[in-house]
Amino acid sequence: MRALPRRSQPLLHQRRTVVASSNRLLISSLTQLFDGIGPLVGAATSQIDALECLRIGGVDLLICTDQLDSGDGPALVATAKQRHPRLRCLMLIQRPLLSTILAALAAGCEGLCSGERLGRGGLLEVLQAMESGGIHLDPLISGVLQRSQNGGSADNCGRLATPQQPSLSLREEDLLRGLCNGLNNQAIAAELHLSINTVKHGITGLLRKFDANDRTQLVLLAFQRGLMDPPQPIQSWTT
């Protein structure tokens, strides 16, 4: 893992960071990366321990992997976001499966970086892009989403099926967009100036319309059917 470029150092000076991963070597590498640059206030290998680090550390940034010794990255981020709404989260995707990526987005991650690009500056690029707001994915992650959007579900004979699109009201489109952007109910309610109960009722209606079992499947269907655009990959930058 290469050294931090100078332009990224002020960013991390301002962030109190917790790292969580089942990979001890990765934790060690990130600890060295942050040494003398930004306050790394805790490291953990499990979801419970990571949440405890967040509780006592006044943390601004969580960097975690999708795989933990106990629990998992998306569940950690979802719980952490509920308890610390201002927390920014970057997830390192060790296995870029579509289900994992969508779970990370649904949990509320602002940045996703594939494990393959970690040693080639991918983590630093996503960290830099996150400072501009919104959600940022590295090209490999974005490519997985784009391929799923351009594909579709197959029938028993292997032919691509084109399910009928449910008709959505403007409010339902806004709610769906919020879910695809990784917002929780509280954030969607604040953005749309709605009550929490109205948001919950609307999302329940969307789940019913799409015949989706949960929010993650709903986001997947929205991307696959082209109803919402996946987050765009970050632009490359040089130091």
Q: What is the pLDDT of residues 125-161, one digit of tens each?
A: 888 888 777 778 888 888 888 777 665 544 443 333 4
* pTM of the shown model: 0.67
Shared-domain flag, residues 181 and 106: no
- Domain end, chosen from 87, 122, 148, is at 148
- Domain end, chosen from 132, 148, 164, is at 148
Shared-domain flag, residues 130 and 178: no
Shared-domain flag, residues 141 and 182: no
Shared-domain flag, residues 111 and 216: no
- Domain end, chosen from 148, 182, 200, is at 148
| Residue 115 contacts residue 68 (beta carbons within 8 Å) | no
Structural domain count of the chain: 2
- Residue 72 has what DSSP assignment? B
> Residue 40: its pLDDT value, please?
86
Shared-domain flag, residues 14 and 99: yes
> Residue 97: its pLDDT value, please?
84
Shared-domain flag, residues 109 and 159: no
pLDDT under 70: residue ranges of the chain? 1-14, 36-37, 119-120, 149-165, 230-239
| Residue 55 contacts residue 18 (beta carbons within 8 Å) | no
Q: Examine residue 232 and state whether it is found in any structural domain, yes or no.
A: no
Q: How far apart are CA 49 and CA 20, in angstroms?
A: 9
> Residue 181: its pLDDT value, please?
80
> Residue 11: its pLDDT value, please?
56
Q: Examine residue 32 and state whether it is found in any structural domain, yes or no.
A: yes
> Residue 218: its pLDDT value, please?
86
Q: Examine residue 239 and state whether it is found in any structural domain, yes or no.
A: no
> Residue 135: its pLDDT value, please?
78
Q: How far apart are CA 192 and CA 130, in angstroms?
A: 23
> Residue 237: its pLDDT value, please?
42
